[in-house]
Amino acid sequence: MSICNPCTRLMPVALCTDSIVIGTVATINTVYNIYFTSLATGKVFRFNATSSGAGLLTLTPTDGFDFASDTGYELKVNKVNTSLTGENLTIGGTTAKCFFITFEHVPYSFVSQTLELEA
């Protein structure tokens, strides 16, 4: 884990959102672990989501998101209970095992956001 990590970079996401469309995985109708590891503190946040019939993962935690704004996180998904390895995840046509994401505080809320690659 490093701030200079080789993970694929994503556009920032607003902290105040009800759900995040994470991306597409290979196995349909399967429970996946979704890990966000803070690059500032090393703290790992784990969520679960079931992939749709098309392999789409959407994260809608019952307690909301508790991320720090303007802090980098590594995003990985897998079917096993470890944040050390990630499985292939496709976002915006790009497939990778690790993505870099930040969250930002904006003065409005979103019902849902879709992860996008940084331009």
Whether residue 54 has pLDDT greater than 90: yes
Whether residue 59 has pLDDT greater than 80: yes
Of 76, 96, 74, 1, residue with least CA distance to 33? 76
Cα 72 to chain center, whole Å?
A: 11
> What would the pLDDT profile of 68-111 be if each residue is shown by its tens digit?
888 999 999 999 999 889 999 999 999 999 999 999 888 777 77
DSSP summary character for residue 16 = S
Q: What is the phi/psi pair of residue 38, to 5°?
A: -70, 125
Whether residue 3 has pLDDT greater than 70: no
Identify the band that residue 113 occupies on the pLDDT scale cut at 50, 70 and 90: confident
Q: Count of CB atoms within 10 A of residue 10's CB?
A: 20
> What would the pLDDT profile of 19-41 be if each residue is shown by its tens digit?
999 999 999 999 999 999 999 99
CA–CA gap between residue 44 and residue 26 (Å, rounded): 24
User: Tokens at residue 76, please?
Assistant: 């990985």
